[in-house]
Structure 1
Amino acid sequence: MHIRAVAMILLAAAFALPGCKFVKTADQARNAAANAFDPDKAVADIWDSKVVPYLETRGAPIKDVLALAAIDVDGAGQKYGYKAKQGNAPWTFIAKVDGVVVAEETKSRAAYVDVDVDGDAKADVRVSIGPAIRGTALRDSLDFIDFNSFKNQIEWAQFGKSFNTRVNDTLLSKLPRENLTGKKVQALGAYPLPASGQLPQLVPATITIGG
């Protein structure tokens, strides 16, 4: 009886097999690759159509942003910036820089220029010129980007880093690197709320030096 029962089970399994679908490992790998998150493409897809127009619309001369933030941080943030509603995210401000380089650091990978925008020969803002860019200010300044639309924290971090990668590859890598002090600078970008007494650290989305 036992042998007969085993035979019946094997027979049923044999009939069931044609209806099963086996996916080859190579096919699974190709499907996974096709559906994998591509942060560089995600940024490229929205850069010209959404990111730059948004920054141009929300940005104001940095001296105006700084002046309001000095007396009303939340008011300045609501007018010129953004912060995520979740958690305790700080304000990220959007600003336009139009001034003169008064100091430069171009030997470090995290290079920058300090810019005077009010004519007193003192730095009012530090503008990153890469190639290394700290933080994710550009991502964090956008009110149409939602953390919850990403699969996990890793994708969110990769997305933020890709903004910096794009800026460096398409813009900052083409900037002059010698004798920048005294040259005119125009830039549009974003910066996180600085610590008391510290210069705002602006990451540019557009920038020209000299010329």
Structure 2
Amino acid sequence: MLRFQAAFPVLLAGALALGGCKFVKTEDERKQAAAGAFNPDKLVADIWDTRVVPYIEERAGPFQEVSALAASDLNAAAEKYGHKEKQGNAPWTFAARIDGVIVAEETKSRAAYVDVDVNGDRQADVRVSIGPAIRGTAIRDSLKFVNFNEFKNQIEWAQYGKSFNTHVNGLLLEKLPRENLTGRTIKATGAYPLPAKGQLPQFVPVTITVGG
């Protein structure tokens, strides 16, 4: 009994000491926590060459064919070339290939673009984003193998969509010429959301070549 009473203050002192301790993560623990954090740029980079570009290249049709079918039979175009998330009000997004001539350019804005004639009438048929800022999330929205339910919330989903734009800009678009583009040929594969009536399709490339 006396031994118990003598030990009790020691135990109590130990408990109080622990209560005042502040546990600090080790460097390894911090690295593990960082590794497990949401990293949309890495997620995109990891699948870009092996899944994203091959998928869009395989699914894409000539732009004239895709746009004509979408105008005449949206369901058929959606089945053959399109994708749309089940959640929300996202429009159909189509994979397509462009082969034409640049008839107008806007390179002063951060959301730069070129307007492209694909049928030889010297009129713009599609607007191609050339960055650095890219509006929308057409690349993400064209992919059947990614979906909103794989992400924690709408914020992560939006960040993931933006990372596709950031990736293609760093990989391709920032290397494009920025002067005297009108009159040059252009070939690109990419995606665009179904435009509003009377509006040019807003095309985001995953491959692009600008000729002389």
TM-score (norm 1): 0.88
Deviation at 1:127, TM superposition (A): 0.3
The equivalent residue for 1:190 is 191
Compare 108-117 and 148-157 and name the one that shifted more.
148-157
What amino acid is aligned across from residue 157 of structure 1 in structure 2?
A: A
Q: Distance in 1 between matches of 2:94 and 2:125?
A: 15
What amino acid is aligned across from residue 95 of structure 2 in structure 1?
A: I
Unaligned ranges ≥5, structure 2: none
Deviation at 1:147, TM superposition (A): 1.1
Deviation at 1:30, TM superposition (A): 3.7
Deviation at 1:71, TM superposition (A): 1.2
The equivalent residue for 1:58 is 59
Identity %: 67
For residue 103 of structure 1, give the secondary structure of its aligned residue in structure 2: strand
| 1:11-160 paired onto structure 2 within 5 Å | 11=11, 23-25=23-25, 29-160=30-161
Q: Distance in 2 between matches of 1:111 and 1:11?
A: 70
What amino acid is aligned across from residue 179 of structure 1 in structure 2?
A: N
- Deviation per CA, 1:121-178: give whole Å up to 9, x if none: 1111000001110011000100000211112222211111111111111100010111
For residue 154 of structure 1, give the secondary structure of its aligned residue in structure 2: helix
CA contact (8 A) 2:87 2:148 kept: no
For residue 127 of structure 1, give the secondary structure of its aligned residue in structure 2: strand
Structure 1 runs, 4 residues or longer, greater than 3 Å off = 7-15, 25-31
What amino acid is aligned across from residue 41 of structure 1 in structure 2?
A: K
Unaligned ranges ≥5, structure 1: none
- Deviation per CA, 1:151-209: give whole Å up to 9, x if none: 22222111111111111111000101111111100000111110100000000001011
